[in-house]
Amino acid sequence: MKTPILYIVIPCYNEEEVLPITSKEFLAKINELTEKKLIAPESRVLFVNDGSKDSTWEIIKKLADEDEHFIGISQSRNRGHQNAVLAGLMEAKDKADITISIDCDGQDDINAMNKMVEEYLNGCEIVYGVRSARDTDTFFKRFTAEGFYKLLNAMGAEVVFNHADYRLVSSRVLKEFANFKEVNLFLRGMFPLVGFKSTSVYYERHERIAGESHYPLSKMLGLAFDGITSLSIKPIRIITGLGIFISFLSFIGVIWSVIMYFMHHSVTGWASTTCIICFIGGVQLISMGVLGEYIGKIYLETKARPRYIISERTEKNMEIQELDKE
């Protein structure tokens, strides 16, 4: 296998305090991996400025002037972390053989990259960086973050536990990923959908070098909600289930009110009113669930996701023909 060209993709939003520090570490890592012959000398550090309001973009431009290993792209406005990562990955797709996305705040251990590249060389197309310990996080952050992954999985959005957006992805996976046209992005739930051989590499998460997190609880809840609604229609199923359950209860309620009526324990009109309320409540929820099922189907159709992805062929010639076409 030829030595792969690596692009490290780094989203940056108002990171003037950390960039001067971490950019040096990224460059050192590229140089180290190149010396070890794990990656090709054409490898790059690709910064994606996500519409920063401070001097982040000026710093990136300066870095690019100083060293050819640094390159940058800038989004016209702030679009959020997920979109910034996607922009970087799509930019790198045709130039690199592998990409590693990582935050620029020094929280993710860049030394895990060695293991990631080795796993790629062993045949894995996606390598997920997984946090082995959250000792440096506060109890609250740890509790909410782990709750986040559990909630996502319970709601039918499959994600790798404790994996954020620190991952190695091959250009081959990125080319297939480019066919996922949806605009609501939840990358860590979407990459498992692409498939191919994958594995995890464990690392310890550090504290932010400087500046503040852009992911307070409110944003994390927003991300969880986006993740669930972009990947799964399980909430709709829950409404249908609730409707069936309430209908069942109302059926008991109807029997109960009829018994009360015949035992003369009720005032006139009570039994019939109760029956109607119970009945209508159940019927409405079931109907909403059924409508929801159709809306869910429409929703999934509008995403126009690829219906299949071929990973290998026995006929080698076909692969060559396809490459020729490209």
Is 84 a residue that touches ligand UDP (CB under 6 A)? yes
Interaction pattern, residues 207-236, with ligand UDP; x per rule: CB under 6 A: ------xxx---------------------
Per CB under 6 A, does 104 bind ligand UDP?
Answer: yes
What six digits make up the tokens of 324? 């020729």
Q: Could you say which of 29, 44, 69, 81 contacts ligand UDP (CB under 6 A)?
A: 81
The residue whose two tokens read 């939840």 is 186
Residue 190 burial (CB < 10 Å; 0-12/13-18/19+)?
A: buried
Strand order in the sheet with 198-204: 70-74, 44-49, 6-12, 98-101, 163-170, 126-133, 198-204
80 touches ligand UDP (CB under 6 A): yes
The answer to whether 45 and 10 have CB atoms below 8 angstroms apart is yes
Q: Which of 31, 34, 78, 247 binds ligand UDP (CB under 6 A)?
A: 78
Contacts of 27 (CB under 8 A, 6+ apart): 45, 67, 69, 70
Q: Which stretch binds ligand UDP (CB under 6 A): 103-111, 123-131, 228-236, 299-307?
A: 103-111
Of the candidate spans 22-30, 97-105, 154-162, 307-315, the one that interacts with Mg ion by CB under 5 A turns out to be 97-105
Q: Residue 2 has what DSSP assignment?
A: P
266 contact partners, CB below 8 Å, separation of at least 6 = 257, 260
Quote the strand ranges of the chain, DSSP E.
6-12, 44-49, 70-74, 98-101, 126-133, 163-170, 198-204
Binder among 91, 97, 105, 109 for ligand UDP (CB under 6 A): 105
- Is beta strand 126-133 parallel, antiparallel or unpaired with respect to 163-170? antiparallel
CB of 50 to ligand UDP, least distance (A): 4
12 binds, among Mg ion, ligand UDP, none (CB under 5 to 8 A by kind): ligand UDP
Q: Does 107 bind Mg ion (CB under 5 A)?
A: yes
* AA identity, residue 16: E
Residue 143 or 251 with smaller CB distance to ligand UDP: 143
Give ∠ CA 177-30-126 in degrees, rounded to 5.
25
Handedness of CA 180, 182, 183, 187 (dihedral sign): negative
57 binds, among ligand UDP, Mg ion, none (CB under 5 to 8 A by kind): none
Taking the C-alpha atoms of 310, 311, 317 and 322 in order, what is their torsion angle to the nearest 10 degrees?
A: 60
Q: Which of 105, 109, 165, 176 binds Mg ion (CB under 5 A)?
A: 105
Q: Which is nearer to Mg ion, 17 or 118 (CB)?
A: 17
- The contact mask relative to ligand UDP for 27-66 (x = CB under 6 A, - = no) is -----------------------x----------------
By the rule CB under 6 A, 185 interacts with ligand UDP: no
**Over 14-29, what HEC string results?**
CCCCCHHHHHHHHHHH
From 25-33, 60-68, 100-108, 173-181, give the range in contact with ligand UDP by CB under 6 A.
Answer: 100-108
Exactly one of 5, 9, 12, 224 binds ligand UDP (CB under 6 A); that residue is 12
The interface partner of residue 80, options being ligand UDP, Mg ion, none and the CB cut-off 5 to 8 Å by kind, is ligand UDP
Asked if 108 interacts with Mg ion (CB under 5 A), we say no
Q: Give the binding site for ligand UDP (CB under 6 A).
A: 11-13, 15, 50, 78, 80-81, 84, 103-105, 107, 213-215
Residues forming the site for Mg ion (CB under 5 A): 103, 105, 107
